[in-house]
Structure 1
Amino acid sequence: MANGLEKESGFTMFSDDELKDVNGVKKVGEFVEVMCGCTSHRYGDAVGKLKIFVNGYLEITCECTPGCEEDKLTPAAFEKHSGRETARKWKNNIWVIVNGEKVPLYKTVLLKYYNQALKTANGSHKSQNGQVCHRDEFIRCTRCNKERRFRLRTKEDCRLHHDALADPNWKCSDLLYDKYVLN
């Protein structure tokens, strides 16, 4: 087995060159584990173990204090748990040690599979709970030339949008308003 993680087909997750300067790397079964951390100006460094799976999933086990029970955190949850004041930028705030220096995750090769998983997931339109969802769509009125929003939340909403899209002479008056709109 090479210095990366291998699958049955001989696929190497990370090459020797990609991980040679990263400190605390372990190859365990189906993931790569790396020591990581997040620095809070108030509380200092919180350290943990970042697990990187081939499917792009990232998981952090917190080791901020000896009795910390936090396990299987997402990077965003780890950032929040560490007390970082400017949460929501975990790619910048969570770091690994490369050549003795703290380097943000986004500057390393460690997010390669996470970014690939995002690219493949974008086309599926699934929400966090796994249900299919749609983005809002707009259709331009042929009379007033304004764009009207179709909120695609239910099958009926999608049907109305598709019918309007198929009509080359669609106008605002064809749009059914919510029953809660005052007259």
Structure 2
Amino acid sequence: MANGAERECGLVVMFSDEELKEMSGVKRGLDYIEVMCGCTSHRYGDAVGRIRVFQNGDLEITCECTPGCQEDKLTPAAFEKHSGRETARKWKNNIWVIVNGEKVPLFKTVLLKYFNQVSKNANGSHRSHNGRVSHRDEFVRCTRCNKERRFRLRTKEECRIHHDALADVNWKCPDLPYDKITCDDDEERASRRVYRGCTRSPTCKGCTSCVCFGCEICRFSDCSCQTCIDFTRNAKP
């Protein structure tokens, strides 16, 4: 089985019992494991949820911060922001799981093993200094209010959201799934928009080091656009 996972009684055994020992709320699915998680805001306290770790590297969080919360299938970054964490964009540090009764950051657990493997093995030469695939932030303009909205491209799900928005000729601010913005919200200041998350220069205007021309994170085999079709046909087996 790819990535070293084995199959047992119809379930993909992604992690051994020893690796998940003392971890709270563990549940095994057909192609994922689910664990209780949370993120702490100094202002609002703990927001709890359940994180699903898939063998393909995807991470999904269902929020349970309140009984009526409807937030589902959030990326870790989106869950971190939803929790009200003041120092956002460090979700590997800020999102925790309970191990032996203590809050332990995700990066100190085995739960990011498949996520890190996908990042490491992705195609393309657009890599940061630590060897991981790098995509700079991009903007899409709302067709209703003409304001530009930022898209962070750190995960495959975030790349898909941007990819679909770019292809939608009628894309509007409320279509952004993780920021919950409307056309009434202010656009980012021009001085802030120049920062694009390039690994070489935050104010980079676009170069072959930070602009990806196609990789396993930002191209999709189930998409019918010509860009994805060409990538899928030409990708190495």
For 1:40 and 1:18, locate their aligned partners in 2 and report how far apart those are by CA, in whole Å. 28
1:82 lines up with 2:83 in the alignment: yes
Q: 1:99 to 1:68 in 2, by over 3 A?
A: same
RMSD over aligned Cα, in angstroms? 3.1
Contact 2:32 2:53 in 1 (8 A): yes
Q: What residue in structure 1 maps to residue 188 of structure 2? A: none
Q: In the aligned structure 1, how far is the partner of 2:49 from the partner of 2:11?
A: 30
Q: Residues of 2 paired with 1:13 and 1:26: CA distance?
A: 12
What is the CA-CA distance between 1:7 and the residue it aligns to?
Answer: 3.7
Q: Given residue 27 of structure 2, which amino acid in structure 1 is its aligned partner?
A: K
Indicate the residue corresponding to 2:29 in structure 1.
28
TM-score, normalising length: structure 2: 0.51
Deviation at 1:56, TM superposition (A): 0.6
* Matched ranges for 1:1-150 at <5 A: 6-7=6-7, 12-121=13-122, 123=124, 128=159, 129=163
* Deviation, structure 1 residue 28: 1.4
Identity of aligned residues (%): 70
The structure with the larger Rg is 1
Q: 1:10 to 1:42 in 2, by over 3 A?
A: closer
Q: 1:11 to 1:61 in 2, by over 3 A?
A: closer
Distance (whole Å) between structure 2 residues aligned to residue 122 and residue 95 of structure 1 = 30
Q: Do the aligned partners of 2:37 and 2:98 also contact (CA within 8 Å) in 1? A: yes
* Cα distance in structure 2, aligned partners of 1:68 and 1:24: 19
Cα deviation code 1:39-91 (max 9, x no counterpart): 00000000001000000100000000000010110000000000000000000
Count residues in correspondence: 134
Render the CA deviation track for 1:103-128: whole Å, top value 9, x for unaligned: 00000011101100111125375962
Instruction: Report deviation, 1:11.
Output: 6.4
* Cα separation, 2, equivalents of 1:11 and 1:34: 16
Distance across 2 between alignment mates of 1:19 and 1:46: 22
Distance in 2 (alpha carbons) for counterparts of 1:103 and 1:122: 31
Q: Which has the larger strand fraction?
A: 1
SS at 1:52 equivalent: strand
The alpha-carbon distance between structure 1 residues 43 and 120, as it changes in their structure 2 partners (threshold 3 A), is same
Where does the alignment leave 5 or more consecutive residues of structure 2 unmatched? 127-132, 136-158, 167-197, 199-205, 214-237
Deviation at 1:12, TM superposition (A): 3.1
3-state secondary structure, aligned to 2:119: helix
1:20 CA displacement: 1.2
Secondary structure in 2 aligned to 1:38? strand
Separation (CA, whole Å) in 2 of partners of 1:73 and 1:120: 24
Unaligned segments of structure 1, at least 5 residues: 136-149, 156-183
Q: Secondary structure at the match of 2:13?
A: coil
Distance 1:57 1:11 in 2: 15
